[in-house]
Amino acid sequence: MVLLLLWLVYLLRVTLFVFALALLFAYLLSPLVDLLDRAIPRKGTRTLALTLAYAIFIGAIVLIGIQIGTRVASQAQTLASGLPGMMAKLERPSDIAPAGINSLKAQLVASLRSDWAQRSSEIMRELPSAGLKFLSVASNLIYVVIVPVLAFFFLKDGDLIRSHVLESVDVGPLRDMAESVMADIHLLLAHYMRSLVLLSLSTFTAYAIFFSIMGVPFGVLLAVVAMVLEFIPMIGPLVAIAVILLVTLVAGAHFWALVIFIVAYRMFQDYFLSPHLMGQGVQLHPLLVLLGVFGGAEVAGVAGSFLSVPVLAMARILYVRTRRSRLSVSEVPPLLTR
């Protein structure tokens, strides 16, 4: 039965991922919804609070898209058109660097140029079927509508769903354990999602301010790349750093100053900001996180990497609760605190 269940989960991984995104999106909006619900004096106005929260969120997204999205698109187009010239400039040997460094740099640039040419030729070959691929991508855009709709129902009927699940379990120690597990998972997902968004916003803010002060080319684009990749645990920030350093090296602007800043900021975030925001939400060893990220990527790509940490954390909660229940602990305090 366990193998059949795992096989069914694998078959339904796309649908389950959409529901998981909707659930995490609901946790992201729940503080705003609760605030609006308390601000409205009348009772039974949860739907009105949800409507106002969605209107505020959509307005904020549109405003950010207008202010930042246009600059990101412009910088991405400029980078794509100017990349061959930057690589040619980088390929020229330096009078200061040793011959070995110049040779290594030439080999790296030649490899990048060859890969760029190969990708460009592949794009040209795929142009005849680009129409069909565009339709395929457009069909997936329906998830942009489905996720907020599902999140709306999670926010509106979350307590009712929880009550129905608990009612299906007989009164006794098993129900007490189920209630404790659900409370722990609720706090876990709330801590994780909100902390992840705050970490991503802090990364974008710090990078954008530093890039603007130092006059780094394509600063807003690189800051957005770092913010987006922050959602992939451990691997995402490393990829973002590699991309930023590579683009900065090719553009030839403040490379070593950028290296010092990135090292200082990552130490601040990894050793102070991230533990403070995550709190007791995710108690996983870094090796287990890496295992989950790589394993999730093999099973479900980027989606699997994104969901690996909360899934492992929930598995830990189930293990701890089951172990405590078997040890016959009469009253077990919550694993997580608000």
Rounded to whole angstroms, the Cα distance separating 249 from 266 reads 20
Task: Note the pLDDT tens digit of each residue in 293-327.
Answer: 788 777 777 777 778 888 888 888 888 877 777 77
| pTM of the complete model | 0.71
Task: Note the pLDDT tens digit of each residue in 236-245.
Answer: 888 888 888 8
Q: Is residue 86 part of a domain?
A: no
Rg of the chain over Cα atoms, rounded to whole angstroms, equals: 24
Q: Is residue 263 part of a domain?
A: yes
What are the backbone angles phi and psi of residue 170, rounded to the nearest 5°?
Answer: -65, 150
Average pLDDT over the chain reads 76
Q: Is residue 50 part of a domain?
A: no
Q: Is residue 124 part of a domain?
A: no
Domain count, the chain: 1
Q: Is residue 319 part of a domain?
A: yes
- Within 8 A by CB and 6+ apart from 295, the residues are 304, 308
- Helix and strand totals (H; E) in the chain: 13, 0
Q: Is residue 247 part of a domain?
A: yes
Structure tokens at 284: 């996983």
pLDDT score, position 206: 92
Percent of the chain with pLDDT over 70: 74
- Within 8 A by CB and 6+ apart from 180, the residues are 321, 332, 334
Question: Is 137's pLDDT higher than 50?
Answer: no
SS3 233: coil
Question: Is 107's pLDDT higher than 60?
Answer: yes
The candidate with the shortest Cα–Cα distance to 220, out of 68, 83, 77, is 68
Rounded to whole angstroms, the Cα distance separating 272 from 268 reads 5
Q: Is residue 177 part of a domain?
A: yes
Q: Is residue 84 part of a domain?
A: no
Instruction: Give Cα 65 distance to the centre of its chain.
Output: 18
Q: Position 145: which residue type?
A: V
Query: Which stretch of DSSP H or E encloses residue 117?
Result: helix 99-126
The domain containing residue 269 runs over which residues? Answer: 169-338
